[in-house]
């Protein structure tokens, strides 16, 4: 790891905040690209200090096939820039280094993402903090754990080391909550054509302990039959019953104890920036966080399919 100091620090400036950034490159000379980007970040007015992780290789997640492997790194900075100012500065650095945006998740000379900015939690069309896919990606978490393994994720409260451990030990499946009247049928049909993914059929919402036992029984069957071979996307979530029947929380916990926990909870919604989303999370996980989550827009079929397909391999 390397430390950078900036000459911009001065008394009387706005209070500095810690921010974590993720960097990746798989075009040209990736290590050189990242080194240049890191130096440009360290030289930004408003960045007082920077620490850099080790570099790692990773397979591309999502996007077009045939891409070269990525080199990934993370940096922790101390900055007086607010999140939007930092985002603007990062986009400018990407442009300076020749980033061209042709297709989502395509090959790139440099990619810089803001993972966290202090303990800020926000969701908007321009910037979501913390980065929504941060807990799902090993190539992000491993560099972060080089720097701050015991720091806590602003939303889940887990340490980054625990998030990394979860990717290793969680079940090879996800459960979905439909916080919308829309249907993901088209995206599911396209997803079912992937040999590495299986979409498990929907199961009615449990209304009692007996019905909950049936739901978990079916989940156990799906996991025992397929988990070692494919990623299992369940078109149901046993915990969804807690929205209407919070008294079943103890029974849910008992049933879950006999299973590997899901890798993540997928919330399908027609408003991913809804301010009430955290109330929903609290209803579903009233006692403790059992897994990270991801909100996905059900109305954009192409992107929904891309996101769901990427979940099958993003932990590798």
Q: What is the pLDDT of residues 58-81, one digit of tens each?
A: 988 877 777 899 999 999 999 999
Q: What is the pLDDT of residues 210-240, one digit of tens each?
A: 999 999 999 999 888 876 678 999 999 999 9
Which CATH class, in words, describes the domain spanning 172-311?
alpha beta
Which two tokens mark 74?
Answer: 């993370």
Q: What is the pLDDT of residues 127-166, one digit of tens each?
A: 999 999 999 999 999 999 999 999 999 999 999 999 999 9
* CA dihedral angle for residue 131, residue 135, residue 140, residue 145, rounded to 10 degrees: 120
For residue 7, name the pLDDT band (cuts at 50, 70, 90).
Answer: very low
Q: Is residue 132 classed exposed, middle or buried when 0-12, 13-18 and 19+ CB atoms within 10 A define those classes?
A: middle
Residue pair 76/149 in contact (Cβ under 8 Å)? The answer is: no
For residue 11, name the pLDDT band (cuts at 50, 70, 90).
Answer: very low
Residue 311 scores a pLDDT above 70 = yes
Query: Which residues are catalytic, by number?
Result: 99, 108, 111, 113
Give the C-alpha separation, 74 to 54, whole Å: 8
Residue pair 134/160 in contact (Cβ under 8 Å)? The answer is: no
Mean of the per-residue pLDDT values of the chain: 91
Beta strands in the chain (DSSP E): 2-5, 17-25, 47-52, 56-58, 70-79, 111-117, 122-123, 128-129, 173-179, 197-200, 231-234, 264-269, 293-297
Strand pairing partners for 75? 21, 52
What's the whole-model pTM score? 0.92
Give domain limits for the chain. Answer: 2-166, 172-311
Of the chain, the percentage scoring pLDDT greater than 70 comes to 95
Q: What is the pLDDT of residues 155-212, one digit of tens each?
A: 999 999 999 999 999 999 999 999 888 999 999 999 989 888 999 989 999 999 999 9
Which CATH class, in words, describes the domain spanning 2-166?
alpha beta
Q: What is the pLDDT of residues 36-62, one digit of tens each?
A: 999 999 999 999 999 999 999 998 887
Phi, psi of 153 (to 5 degrees): -65, 130
Q: Please, where are the H alpha helices in 138-227?
A: 138-147, 160-169, 185-191, 209-226
pLDDT at 220: 93
């Amino acid at each position: 790891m390397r430390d950078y100091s900036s000459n911009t620090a001065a008394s009387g400036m706005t209070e500095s905040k810690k921010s974590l950034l993720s960097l990746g490159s798989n075009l040209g000379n990736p290590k050189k690209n990242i080194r240049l980007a890191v130096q440009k970040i360290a030289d930004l007015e408003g960045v007082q200090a920077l620490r850099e992780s080790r570099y790692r290789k990773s397979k591309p997640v999502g996007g077009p096939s045939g891409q070269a492997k990525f080199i990934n790194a993370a940096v922790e900075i101390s900055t007086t820039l607010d999140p939007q100012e930092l985002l603007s500065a990062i986009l400018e650095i990407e442009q300076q280094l020749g980033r061209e945006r042709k297709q989502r998740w395509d090959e790139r000379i440099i990619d810089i993402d803001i993972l966290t900015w202090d303990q800020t939690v926000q969701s908007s069309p321009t910037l979501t903090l913390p980065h929504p896919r941060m807990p799902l990606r090993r190539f992000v978490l491993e560099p972060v754990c080089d720097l701050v393994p015991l720091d806590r994720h602003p939303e889940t409260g887990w340490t980054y080391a625990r998030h990394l451990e979860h990717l290793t030990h969680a079940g090879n499946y996800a459960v979905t909550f439909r916080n919308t009247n829309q249907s993901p049928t088209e995206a599911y049909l396209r997803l079912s054509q992937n040999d590495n993914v299986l979409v498990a059929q929907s199961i009615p919402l449990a209304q009692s302990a007996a019905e909950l036992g049936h739901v978990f029984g079916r989940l156990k069957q799906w996991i025992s039959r397929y988990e070692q071979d494919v990623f299992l996307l369940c078109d149901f979530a046993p915990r969804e019953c807690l929205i209407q029947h919070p008294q079943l929380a103890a029974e849910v916990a008992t049933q879950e104890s006999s299973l590997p926990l899901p890798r993540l909870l997928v919330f399908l919604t027609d408003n991913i920036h809804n301010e009430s989303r955290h109330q929903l999370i609290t209803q579903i996980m009233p006692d403790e966080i059992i897994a990270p989550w991801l909100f996905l827009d059900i109305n954009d079929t192409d992107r929904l399919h891309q996101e769901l397909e990427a979940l099958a391999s993003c932990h590798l």
